[in-house]
Amino acid sequence: MPYRIGLPHYANTAPLVHFLEAPRGVELRFGVPTELNRWLAEGEVDLSLVSSQFYLEARGALRALPDFSVAVLGAVYSVNLFHKRPWDELRRIAITSESATSVRLLAHLLERSGVPAELEPAPVGLEGLESYDGVLLIGDRALTAYAGLLEHTPASVHDLPRRPGGHYVTDLAMQWFRATRLPFVFALWATRAGEQPPPEVVALLRRARREGLGRLGEVAAAESARLGIPAPLLQHYLWNFRYHLEPPDRLGLAAFAEAVGLLGPEEYWSV
């Protein structure tokens, strides 16, 4: 059987996969985060990007690669709560089924600020604001919805207004940063415990990441064409990510584990 690698097809992972070519004996399989989590747990893939929530819940059943992550320090721009009422007035929120980590982060932030909102799974976009106070979107849908609310797209995402198109937009990673001053780790590369990835596969992933970050303009141009978002915005968006699981990222993940009641995070670094 080929060695199977699970990947999400989102813009934020494009620097990791744009130059990734599977050699003979390696198969790439794409899915949304919840699918990738399940595929790894059930043995349908051998190595995968998995959500941090899933990784922490596994309690040692997974083994993380020591220097890979998808994390941010501050705003992420693609894990957004779009809402028509101020944060403190939220009561009904439609949540995505694509990412358990983003949903758990939202629940924590609401609880932390004393907002008694109900989270209801619903596969809706911004049209859901007709029925809900807020809609949680992630990945490319969140990024394109954000850009679509703007009357014009500025050269830098730092110029984006807080309330484009009459809607509030709360960036969950920025909310986390304001509360903790730490990065937020959305995903990790992981295998099942006891299953060491082949060194040549890890080297392949590292080469693809190095090439993607070194040629970020090309990656951004490709994602710009795919999503219909101006390349300068895409390039700034991608430049914002942290892909190496450095010590501050580990501290952020440990803080998230503690915040959501998953104790003993240090034991998970079985790398």
Q: How confident is the model at residue 161 (pLDDT cuts 50, 70, 90)?
A: very low
What phi-psi label fits residue 227: left (phi over 0), alpha (psi between -120 and 50 degrees) or beta?
Answer: alpha
Residue 191 corresponds to which amino acid?
T
Mean of the per-residue pLDDT values for the chain? 88
Section 60-88 average pLDDT: 92
Higher pLDDT, 246 or 58: 246
User: CA–CA separation, 80 vs 11, rounded Å?
Assistant: 15
* pLDDT, position 157: 40
pLDDT of residue 160: 43
| Residue 226 pLDDT grade (very low, low, confident, very high; cuts 50, 70, 90) | very high
pLDDT (tens digit per residue) in 80-121: 999 999 999 999 999 988 788 999 999 999 999 999 999 999
Q: What's the pLDDT at 267?
A: 47
Q: Is the pLDDT of residue 164 over 60?
A: no
Does residue 71 surpass a pLDDT of 80? yes
pLDDT at 268 over 60: no
Query: Is the pLDDT assigned to residue 207 strictly greater than 50?
Result: yes
Whole-angstrom distance, CA of residue 183 vs CA of residue 180: 8
Closest CA to 132 of 117, 150, 115: 117
pLDDT of residue 264: 53
Asked if the model's pLDDT at residue 270 lies above 50, the reply is no
Residue with tokens 């993607």: 212
* pTM of the predicted model as reported, rounded to 2 decimal places: 0.89
Longest dimension (CA), the chain: 55
Q: For every residue of 20-60, which 3-state class applies, written as one string?
A: CCCCCCEEEEECCHHHHHHHHHHCCCCEEEEEHHHHHHCCC
Quickly state the pLDDT bin for 269 (edges 50, 70, 90).
very low
